């Protein structure tokens, strides 16, 4: 299938083989750029080169202003980039041309939610479901929106229960409900029973969810689910990661290490793999040298910010930044699927904010990030082998924890370096009991004698803590009636 001077089949073959850069080079020789702009943009997006992808999407939209798919694709990319007002405008353009697909309404719903226009977002999600009942993403995101706004599980469950009633054999809908219930505080045993009662058989994804749900309650049952998932999906790294975790919980650290050794060449940048490998080694397994992490404690460092241009001192700047951030915390409770409990997380990518104090934050963190990367140096371990000297942020958000709030232990699976920057802190942080501190190295599951943190860092206003994304980290709960305000982001090589 040739066209516009390019062998389209050859391009498709390269993409199928994961050779995106070669596919881009081949597409660049097209005689008619308009024919291949969309495909080029797709590849660039997959490579994380979003600004380049956007340039092509904009050119495509200018060349084909009456095309619904072109406007839709532009809107989708803008939404992925957190440019929600522009995404909304592109969606409206597609709809004005007759675009009424549920996927187009879903982009609109996300763009509206990203602008904190929650009533309109709710209506747009429901418009998706009116056009395609049971659409997974719309059901999941509508349930989460209701939960974050109300903190009422019964209200949040209405859309998912309606979808399951219409499609009782849909395993993914059951998994969406299970995740919602877990984050709303339903017990693991009750949640597991609801998930598996009359559930479809032989679904690897459902087996993985069941294993994760019950792992801390019944390791034997969890291991059975995990082994079944690995048999059903032998080529899915996620299934093997869950099996490795269940083996660790069951006291089989060496068996877990063997799984991870075989998985490492397949998923070398999967941060959960390295977190589990570190846990296996701490649990007594003789790990293969390829799994050994090089001096990870030394790669956790705290850096004090300097006041950015326009502010006389750091204290004044942090006060202005805190005011701007708190205005963005407009929901009632924590999101579904994240680490935080008893708090809120901003719905927008802070990199896209026009607020002067928030914009200045990126100026303030640039030098500490660059110093941290330089101090890491080069090496063969999973952290340093990716160090190319440059960086870009992959998402930036704010969290406001309330009294007794905390972050459960977790890793950032798509990151390289992760962060916590402290903006405003409760008095309990200075109380001598490590309340509200960040702890590293303890997994979110029982594993032999791995109970003590590798490191605990005390927060201070204006302090930026940078650490490998593969390190388990958690925030310890704090007492009192104050809040704990932070900014977090992930860093990836550039």
CATH code of residue 472: 2.60.120.620
10 conformational bin, left if phi > 0, alpha if psi -120 to 50, beta if neither: alpha
Q: Distance between CA atoms of 222 and 291, rounded to whole angstroms? A: 25
Q: 278 and 305: one domain?
A: no
Q: Is residue 129 part of a domain?
A: no
How large is the C-alpha radius of gyration of the chain?
A: 23
Looking at the DSSP bridge assignments, the partners of residue 7 are 2
* Integer Cα distance of 260 and 280 in angstroms: 9
**Looking at the structure, do residues 247 and 323 belong to the same domain, yes or no?**
no
338 inside domain: yes
Count of other CB atoms within 10 angstroms of residue 127: 17
Q: Whole domain around residue 371: which residue ranges?
A: 297-493
**End of a domain among 287, 312, 328?**
287
Helix (H) or strand (E) holding 408: strand 391-410
- Could you tell me if 423 and 329 lie in one domain? yes
Cα(256)–Cα(284) distance, integer angstroms: 11
Neighbours of 407 (CB within 10 A): 23
d(CA 417, CA 473): 12
| Closest-CA residue to 58 (of 85, 82, 32, 87) | 87
379 and 419 in a single domain? The answer is yes
How many CB atoms sit inside 10 A of residue 269's CB?
A: 17
Strand stretches in 217-299, DSSP E: none
Judgement on whether residues 394 and 264 belong to the same structural domain of the protein? no
Do 280 and 308 lie in one domain? The reply is no
Q: Are residues 311 and 282 in the same domain?
A: no
- Identify whether 375 is part of a domain: yes
Sign of the alpha-carbon torsion through 327, 333, 336, 338: positive
CB atoms closer than 10 angstroms to residue 123: 14
Does residue 80 lie in a domain region? no
Q: Is residue 414 located within the same domain as residue 486?
A: yes
43 located within any domain: no
Tokens of 439: 């702890």
Contact by Cβ (8 Å): 239, 229:
yes
Q: Are residues 264 and 303 in the same domain?
A: no
Q: Looking at the structure, do residues 405 and 329 belong to the same domain, yes or no?
A: yes
Instruction: Provide the pLDDT for residue 1.
Output: 37
Domain boundary among 287, 320, 351: 287
229 plus 372 within the same structural domain: no
Q: Which CATH number fits the domain that encloses residue 267? A: 1.25.40.10
In a domain, 274, yes or no: yes
Strand extents, DSSP E, 179-333: 301-304
Residue 259 located in a structural domain: yes
Task: Please give the tally of structural domains in the chain.
Answer: 2
Tokens of 431: 């109380």
Q: b/e map of 346-366 (b: 16 or more CB within 10 Å)?
A: bbbbbbbbebebbebbbebbe
Q: In the prediction, which pLDDT does 10 show?
A: 78
Q: Looking at residue 125, what is its pLDDT?
A: 98
Cα-based distances in Å from 476 to 90, 138, 162, 408, 435: 43, 33, 37, 8, 6
Residue 241 placed within a domain = yes
**What's this model's pTM, rounded to 2 decimal places?**
0.88
- End of a domain among 269, 287, 305? 287
Q: pLDDT 10s digit of each residue in the chain, 494 long?
A: 344 556 777 777 777 777 878 877 777 766 555 667 778 888 888 888 889 999 999 999 999 999 999 999 999 999 999 899 999 999 999 999 999 999 999 999 999 999 999 999 999 999 999 999 999 999 999 999 999 999 999 999 999 999 999 999 899 999 999 999 999 999 999 999 999 988 776 689 999 999 999 999 999 999 999 999 999 999 999 999 999 999 999 999 999 999 999 999 999 999 999 999 999 999 999 888 877 775 666 799 999 999 999 999 999 999 999 999 999 999 999 999 889 999 999 988 899 899 999 999 999 999 999 999 999 999 888 899 999 999 999 999 999 999 999 999 999 999 999 999 999 999 999 998 999 999 999 999 999 889 999 999 999 999 999 999 999 999 999 999 999 999 999 999 99
Indicate left, alpha or beta for 396 from its phi (over 0: left) and psi (-120 to 50: alpha).
beta
Residues 396, 441 within the same domain: yes
| Residue in the structure block whose two tokens are 């291949």 | 36
């Amino acid at each position: 299938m040739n066209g516009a001077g390019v062998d389209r089949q050859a391009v498709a073959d390269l993409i199928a083989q994961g050779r995106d850069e070669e596919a881009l080079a081949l597409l660049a020789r097209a005689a008619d750029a308009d024919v291949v702009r969309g495909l080029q943009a797709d590849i660039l997006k997959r490579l994380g080169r979003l600004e380049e992808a956007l340039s092509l999407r904009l050119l495509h939209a200018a060349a084909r202003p009456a095309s619904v798919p072109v406007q839709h694709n532009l809107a989708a990319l803008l939404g992925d980039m957190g440019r929600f007002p522009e995404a909304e405008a592109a969606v409206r353009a597609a709809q004005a041309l007759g675009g009424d697909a549920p996927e187009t309404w879903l982009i609109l719903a996300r763009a509206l939610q990203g602008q904190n226009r929650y009533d309109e977002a709710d209506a747009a999600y429901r418009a998706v479901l009116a056009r395609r009942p049971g659409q997974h993403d719309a059901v999941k995101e509508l349930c989460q929106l209701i939960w974050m706004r109300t903190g009422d599980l019964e209200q949040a469950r209405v859309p998912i229960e309606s979808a399951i009633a219409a499609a009782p054999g849909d395993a993914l809908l059951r998994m969406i409900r299970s995740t919602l219930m877990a984050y709303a505080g339903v017990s693991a045993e009750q949640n597991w029973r609801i998930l598996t009662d009359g559930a479809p058989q032989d679904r690897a994804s459902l087996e993985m969810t069941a294993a994760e749900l019950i792992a801390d309650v019944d390791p034997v049952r969890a291991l059975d689910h995990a082994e079944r998932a690995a048999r059903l999906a032998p080529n899915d790294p996620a299934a093997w990661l869950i099996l490795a975790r269940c083996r660790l919980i069951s006291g089989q650290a060496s068996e877990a290490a063997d799984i991870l050794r075989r998985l490492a060449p397949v998923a070398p940048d999967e941060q959960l793999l390295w977190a589990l490998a570190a846990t296996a080694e701490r649990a007594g397994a003789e790990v293969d040298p390829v799994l050994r992490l090089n001096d990870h404690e030394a790669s956790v460092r705290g850096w004090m910010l300097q006041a950015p241009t326009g502010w006389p001192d750091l204290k004044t700047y942090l006060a202005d930044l805190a005011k701007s951030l708190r205005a963005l915390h407009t929901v009632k409770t924590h999101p579904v699927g994240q680490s935080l409990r008893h708090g809120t997380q901003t719905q927008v990518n802070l990199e896209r904010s026009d607020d002067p104090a928030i914009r200045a934050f990126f100026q303030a963190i640039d030098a500490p990030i660059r110093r941290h990367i330089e101090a890491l140096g080069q090496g063969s371990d999973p952290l340093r082998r990716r160090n190319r000297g440059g960086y870009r942020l992959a998402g930036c958000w704010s969290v406001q924890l309330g009294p007794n709030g905390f972050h459960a232990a977790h890793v950032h699976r798509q990151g390289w370096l992760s962060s916590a920057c402290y903006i405003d802190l409760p008095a309990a942080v200075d109380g001598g009991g490590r309340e509200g501190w960040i702890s590293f190295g303890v997994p979110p599951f029982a594993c032999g004698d791995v109970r003590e943190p590798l490191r605990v860092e005390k927060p201070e206003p204006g302090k930026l803590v940078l650490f490998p994304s593969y390190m388990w980290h958690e925030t310890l709960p704090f007492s009192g009636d104050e809040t704990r305000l932070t900014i977090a982001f992930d860093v990836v090589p550039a």
